[in-house]
Structure 1
Amino acid sequence: MALLLFAQALAAEDLVATRVEDGTEIARLEVPNGTGWCVLWHHSVEGFEVSDCYENRDGRMVLVQSHLPDFAAGLGHIPGRGEQVSDGAGGYFILNIDEPVPGDAYILRPGLGRVDHRLSVGEQIISLSAVAPRERVRIALIGNLDQ
């Protein structure tokens, strides 16, 4: 039993956000294999919430779906990249994107004020805009063995 718990602990991964400039860690959230998280923000012109949702698939960061409440500037579905379906409220989901993120990490520059880029894992929500507005932030899925 102890060996099984140890193996599960080693297999867990964390979603880690760090400032690119100095490597300071600004967020760390546990996302075990098979669980997911979303990056949420408010559209800078229209103000509605947009989400890109990811999943930990065997230690790989995979973009699985997006929710876009409108066809506003900068938003849209790319044919052949997932399946666009109505959200029933005038917006749409892009489902089944299933796109691995190269290197299991990417750079985001959190917006100011009402844009409020956030990481959402279960009930936990961390505002990247509050702690690193307009800074380059690296969002990465890191396994315990990678640390």
Structure 2
Amino acid sequence: MMRPIWEGGGKVLPLLILLLLPVLAGAETLVATREDGTEIARFDVPQGTEWCVLWNHSVKGFPVSDCYENQAGQMVLMHAHLPDFAAGLDHIPGRGRQVTDGQGGYFILDINEPVPGNAYVLRPGEGAVDHRLQVGEAVVSLSAVAPRERVRIALLGSIEQ
């Protein structure tokens, strides 16, 4: 006669809970991959974790950032910092709110824009542009390992990993 898993002498159920814990906890991972699927970077980003894509403006050379957050398993663009109104940098009215950074540049706050499909493709610039992925204190240069290549940045749920 077969016994239900919860009657396994106290062994099966705890093991099952340990195996399912990442799923139950909503564990998500931020992954950057080349077009051929080669992994460049992998970070644990539980709900509420913020990460940024950083780069240096190709003409002016100053750092620019777009910052995202894991909101219940959804990649959401939260805010950006643009130190100048240089070529290609501007605030789109109705998409967040623009405030000064006190140093001649500006922040775009409260963007709160979900990224369709929890992923997008970036083509990291070469050399001084140096596209980087930052999670907490950890920084990975996408430009150093995949300059001018298609790099997919994706937030993966525990089932997709």
> Residue 126 of structure 1: CA displacement?
0.2
2:59 to 2, 25, 45: 45
SS at match of 2:140: strand
1:27-42 correspondence to structure 2 within 5 Å: 27-42=41-56
Match of 1:18 in 2: 33
In the alignment, the residues of structure 2 paired with residue 12 and residue 126 of structure 1 have an alpha-carbon distance, to the nearest angstrom, of 21
1:1-147 correspondence to structure 2 within 5 Å: 3=17, 7=21, 9-10=22-23, 11-20=26-35, 22-147=36-161
Unaligned regions of 5+ residues in structure 1, if any? none
> How many residues are treated as equivalent by the alignment?
144
Unaligned regions of 5+ residues in structure 2, if any? 1-13
RMSD: 1.4
> Residue 128 of structure 1: CA displacement?
0.2
Identity rate of aligned residues, in percent? 72
One-letter amino acid of the counterpart of residue 124, structure 2? P
> Residue 85 of structure 1: CA displacement?
0.1
In the alignment, the residues of structure 2 paired with residue 102 and residue 14 of structure 1 have an alpha-carbon distance, to the nearest angstrom, of 17
Give deviations 1:53-85, integer Å, cap 9, x for gaps.
Answer: 000000000000000000000000000000000
> Residue 5 of structure 1: CA displacement?
9.6
In the alignment, the residues of structure 1 paired with residue 19 and residue 90 of structure 2 have an alpha-carbon distance, to the nearest angstrom, of 43
Residues 1:6 and 1:109: Cα distance change in structure 2 (over 3 Å): same
In the alignment, the residues of structure 2 paired with residue 123 and residue 18 of structure 1 have an alpha-carbon distance, to the nearest angstrom, of 20
Greater Rg by CA: 2
Give deviations 1:92-141, integer Å, cap 9, x for gaps.
Answer: 00000000000000000000000000000001000000000000000000
TM-score (norm 2): 0.86
TM-score (norm 1): 0.94
In the alignment, the residues of structure 2 paired with residue 136 and residue 5 of structure 1 have an alpha-carbon distance, to the nearest angstrom, of 34
